[in-house]
A and B are shown apart, each in its own frame.
Chain A
Amino acid sequence: MIAILRTTLTREMTLAFRRRADLLNPLFFFVVVVSLFPIGVTLDLAKLALMAPGILWVSALLASLLSLDLMFRNDFDDGTLEQMLLAAVPPQLLVLCKIISHWLVTGLPLTVLSPVLSVMLALPAKAVPVLMLSLLLGTLSLSLIGSVGAALTVGLRKGGLLLTILIMPILVPVLIFGTSTVQAMATDQPWQGYLALLGAFTAGAFALTPWLTVAALNVTVGD
């Protein structure tokens, strides 16, 4: 059981490395969007600092949304996905491996990159650790919830737009809790409650989404 999970995770990471152009795309998107804000909106640092949590969070969410469509696409096309559903281990675990590897190659780099970009938006330095912590949880939520949408739309040739429409409403709470956490920290208000809500949301998604994703994949593959 452990061996197959390690094999799956290794395979996903190897494949991600061999498709690295696809992975750099969200990171570049993140950098470009965030750097355009000071140019397009205002150069007033006080105003930027006020908007910084929102800008960073929205850009990070949109950036990791970009690569979501690819989560199951290649495995569906070449038939590996149906073999995974027939495997000798619970498919939920294999799906969880795919979700975690998606997060490792999108959410995690975005989080690591965010302190650099927060300087550009004049976010107070004391808020940076909380920003990273909230993005760490938030991008994981996005990978988890996004996997359900990706599983539902993988059978459609052009599922990208539908995928965004499907999961955007569910991601709104993540965005609200995330930006509130950073905003509260930056303005010296209690922020632990918001972060706890974000953590609870992520934990709930972690427990539920693998089952929902496998159910969605069974529908998609079984048609």
Chain B
Amino acid sequence: MPELLKAADLFCERDERILFADLSFAVDQGEILHIQGANGAGKTTLLRRLVGLSWVVEGNVTWHAPVADGDALDGNRFWYLAHRPAVTLLQTPLENLAFAMALHNQVLAPEALWQALSTVGLRGYEDVPAHSLSAGQQRRVSLARLYLDLPEVRLWLLDEPFTALDTSAVNQLEQRIVSFAEQGGTVIMTSHHGLHHAAVRPLHIGAPL
């Protein structure tokens, strides 16, 4: 499979502690890169550097087609599920999902949004303000976008996607990640949760566990 991402000589220092240095890796299409490390090892910082949000990491990050747009990521080719789930509490799950899609220039019929919310177990909660949902349900609102059928999205960057989910939702998400990779999609994720599949490649950062 062709190369999708090349990261070279990444270096990150925070509060006079070196989190990682001389970190180089490449990710091919269809791979699942599982970034592992202890709490505070810099997993989230690394992911934010890859997506282009963080300026505290030095080094080169190069994205290649089909997800690249010049040096940066092409806005309608990826989903980034951050540590902060981007769920606006005063909006309903449906409004949240629709806005996430609008930001990435994605257009789908409203039925597809209802379907995705129902897949993540939010049937009946579509029109409830998100602040009245539980932490796990709010997490599911942001995960719902992964269940949309959008062929142009080729890359997922997931920061601790399994947080606050119950066992069945964890299994469902694992299967979804694996099937996305089997269809040629690429996943870069941080998690403390073990994921076992042939396409998963672990990347340890910081001190060995």
Contact = CB atoms under 8 A, between A and B. Distances in A.
Interface of A: 3-4, 7-8, 11, 14-15, 18-19, 74-75, 77-80, 82-89, 94, 218-219, 221-223
B55 A4 contact: no
A3 B102 CA distance: 8
B56 A79 contact: no
B100 A83 contact: yes
17 contacts: A3-B102, A7-B99, A7-B102, A8-B102, A18-B90, A19-B90, A77-B84, A80-B88, A80-B99, A83-B86, A84-B103, A87-B103, A88-B105, A89-B103, A89-B105, A219-B55, A222-B56
Instruction: Identify which of A15, A19, A219 gathers the most chain B CB atoms within 10 Å of its CB.
Output: A15
Contacts, number: 81
A4 B73 contact: no
A86 B51 contact: yes
Interface residues of B, number: 30
Contacts of B90: 15, 18-19
B85 interface: yes
Given A15-B88, A78-B84, A79-B83, A88 B103 contact: yes
B62 interface: no
Rank and list the top 6 A-B pairs by shortest CB-CB distance, nearest first: A88-B75, A79-B84, A88-B105, A79-B86, A87-B103, A222-B55
A75 B102 CA distance: 16
A162 to B, nearest CB: 21
A2 B18 CA distance: 45
Interface in B50-77: 51-56, 73-76
B104 interface: yes
B91 interface: yes
Given A79-B86, A86-B51, A15 B91 contact: yes
